[in-house]
Amino acid sequence: MEASEMKSVRLVVMMMMMMFLCVSAKSKLVPCLFIFGDSLADNGNNNRLNTSAKANYKPYGIDFLDSRPTGRFTNGRTTVDIIAQLLGFNKFIPAYATLNSSFNLLSGANYASGGSGILRQTGTHMGQNICLKKQIKHHQIMVSRISDLLGSKRSQELLNKCLYWVEMGNNDYINNYFVPWFYSSGNLYTPQQFALILIQKYRHHVMELYNYGARMIALVGLGQIGCTPNAIWTYGTSNGSTCVSFMDDAVQLFNERLVTLVDELNNAFVDTKYIYINSYEIGSSIDPIALGFKVWNVGCCGGLENGQCKPLEIPCENRREYVFWDSFHPTEAYNFITASKIYKAYNLSYSYPMDISDLVHSFEQINIA
C-alpha cells in the first residue's frame, strides 16, 4: 500500500471514530436496514438451529456488550453492525429469530445465517441453516407485518427508503464447491460453470427483493477465502503465494459476474440503485502490518483444523493485533477497517459505482414515526 493511500486509510478511520462519538445525537440516514448473509453477518439466527455452525458460547462476544456471546462469529461487532452504527442506528439490528412485539419492526431485521449460501444445500453437512431463499421468505413475512402495521401505501414508502445488505456466496465455495466428500458440485462443474449457476440463482433472489420494495441494494462480493487460516492449513500454498490461489481464483469468477449483474440491474431499473462491494479488493489492499496487526495467518482462538473457537477456550489477549478471530472470521478490529472502506470509499474500486454513504444520501429521507 502506498504512503498516500495509507494516509487516506488512517484519515478515514479517524473520521469514523469521530462519527461514533456523535452517532447517538444524529438521526438515522435510512429508516431501516435489512441484512441477508452468512456467518459474517449472523447475529443469532443460528442459535436455535440444529447445527455445529453456532457462536452463542464464550469466548465469542468477549468484546461485545457485557462480554456476552450473541451468536456473532467474532469477538465483538460484525462489519455490518459497524456500518449500521455509522448510518445512525443507536441499537443493533435485531436477528429475525429474536423478533417479537417488543422490537421496533420498522427499523429492519437481520436474516443472516452461519453456513448458509445461495444454494439450498450449501452448508448442510454442518446441520441446519437458513439459505438465501429462506431468508427472503422471512423477509416476505416481515413485509406483510409492516404492511399490516402501516397500511400498504405507507409500508411501500418506507421499504423503498431502506437499505438492503446482501452478503452471500462465500459458503457456496467454502462449504460446498470445495467440500468434495459431501457435495458433487466440485466434480460436476468447472469454476466458470459454477459461478454462472450461482449468479443466475442470485439474480432471481435479488429480483424478489425488488418486488418486495427494495430500492437501495448493496450486493457484497466474495472475499479472499483462500487467505483464511483454515484454508491455508487445509490446502497449503504454492509458488510463493501467501494464500490458496485456486480458491481465490474461483471466487473472482463469481465477482466478475456480480459486477456485470449490478450494471445490468442499474440499467434496467431507473428507480433502483444497486452497488457492488468489492470485498476481495478491499482485503487485498489492506497492509495488516501498517495498520498495527501483528498476526494474520492464525486465529485468536480455535485450532486451525477445527475452524471455530472451542467452548470456554481462553483466546489471545491482544485481540487488536489479530486479523482473524477464529480460523474463518475476522476480529472486530479488522471489521472496523473493512467497514471504513465500505462506508466511505476513498477508492471507488472498493465500491461500485458508489459507496454506502453516497448511496443513502442519493435518496430523499422519509420520517416514519
CA 22 from chain center: how many Å? 25
Closest CA to 295 of 269, 261, 319: 319
- What would the DSSP string read from start to end of 42-79? -SSTTTTSSBS----STTTTTTSGGG---S-SSSS--H
**156 near 213, Cβ under 8 Å?**
yes
Residue whose grid cell is 423478533: 99
**348 near 277, Cβ under 8 Å?**
no
Rg of the chain in Å (alpha carbons)? 19
C-alpha pair distances (Å), 66 with each of 61, 70, 192, 315, 320: 9, 11, 46, 17, 18
Give me the sign of the Cα torsion angle 16, 18, 20, 23: negative
Strands (E), the chain: 33-37, 108-110, 163-167, 216-220, 273-277, 351-352
Question: Which grid coordinates belong to 351?
Answer: 465500491
C-alpha pair distances (Å), 84 with each of 23, 134, 147, 367: 10, 23, 23, 18
Contacts of 21 (CB under 8 A, 6+ apart): none
User: In which element (H, E) is residue 6 found?
Assistant: helix 3-22
Tell me which residues are annotated as active site: 39, 326, 329
